[in-house]
Amino acid sequence: MPLVIGVLVETHPGERRLSVVPDVVKKYQGLGAWVVMQKGAGLPAHFRDADFAEVTLVDRADEVCAEADVVFCVQPPAPATLAALKPGSVLLGLLQPWASAERARQLAERGVTAFALELLPRISRAQSMDVLSSQGAVAGYECALIAADHSPKFFPMLTYAAGTIRPAKVLVIGAGVAGLQAIATARRIGAMVEAYDVRPETREQVESLGAKFVDTGVAAAGSGGYARELTDEEKAKQAERLSRAVAQCDALITTAALPGRPAPRIIGADMIARMKPGAVVVDMAADSGGNVEGTVAGDKVWINDVLVIGPTNIPSRMPVHASEMLAKNLFNFISPFIRDGALALDWEDEVISGSCLTHAGEIRHPGVKQALGL
């Protein structure tokens, strides 16, 4: 029997992405695998059932789980769907491993081998599998557009019959993948862009995109490509110097996030109070508590005369390309272990061992176990 890959309808509120796209399905079929998909799974991402040639379509999630050896998801499936997974099957996707001890226990007790792509090791070989980076790029692009759409000012310089209007000034905080994409997009639209990151090595990347780097004198390079948490003294120094740049911008985009932890609070109410009337703030970290004091996840709020926007699940705003990127990430993760139409996981492989959440009845990832108190 060939390996059967299952694709579910996403049930998380507002989720529009899909874990496979037609071109990637053909690649799985070329490896000797077969795909079973729940009817209508692709419709929120604008893929019709008819777009998936030679895929077996079924009506319900439990029918997918009954047949599939490997099940793909974008967001964690509902508990009833997890209960329908075959013992010994594989679940692969963005599983929010730090969010629910109950879900981790259920997967372990069910005997499911679960790979959470949030746990993917930050190594060069894993870059093509890095869902956080690919979806972060989508989020950065979208946040620049959200800022431009809500700003009362033109982003680009505009010359008209009576004179010239200066371009808007945008400040991006955080120069990871999402922040760099926000910088690049705001620059393409024509804004003057400044950017700040606690990791000094990002200065060159920021400047290569045509933005000015804001130097606060605080450096916090951490392990695995992420920033470490700042001390109280460093936070005070950062806030003092950053406050000046915030006060001068027309649009502020914050992108600082720490996987599995609340987002660091960077912009306080005092900084918001100093911003220009009509300024716009887009807090990309709203899902995890926000970088900005006063952010409301999923809503827009006025603080004095500053509009603070807290968009959630941002990549779902652009589901076609976000799904294409995510589907390729999943393919690059699992395809090296599909041989002659069967799955052969290599537990000596750093990618496999490092991203494993549960296996053989156990919660395997030590960091998750510690965070969840298990």
Active site residues: 122, 127, 130, 133, 226
Distance CA(191)–CA(237), nearest Å, equals: 28
Residues 6 or more apart whose CB falls under 8 angstroms from that of 119 comprise 97, 354, 355, 356, 357, 365, 367, 368
The pair of structure tokens assigned to 26 is: 């053909």
Residues 6 or more apart whose CB falls under 8 angstroms from that of 27 comprise 331, 335
335-344 own/partner pairs: CB under 8 Å, 24+ apart: 335/27, 335/28, 335/31, 338/3, 338/28, 338/31, 338/32, 338/33, 340/32, 341/2, 341/3, 341/31, 341/32, 341/33, 342/2, 342/3, 342/32, 343/3, 343/69, 343/70, 343/90
Looking at residue 9, the DSSP 8-state letter turns out to be P
- Are 96 and 296 a contacting pair, CB within 8 Å? no
By DSSP bridging, strand 251-254 and strand 70-72 are unpaired
φ/ψ of residue 112, rounded to 5: -90, 135
**Which has the closest alpha carbon to 47: 76, 7, 90, 12?**
7
**Which has the closest alpha carbon to 363: 84, 98, 121, 69?**
98
Q: Where are the beta strands (DSSP E) in 96-152?
A: 113-116
Q: Hey, is 187 helix, strand or coil?
A: helix
Cα dihedral sign, 101-97-368-99: negative
Q: Which residue has the tokens 């950065």?
A: 140
Looking at residue 53, the DSSP 8-state letter turns out to be T
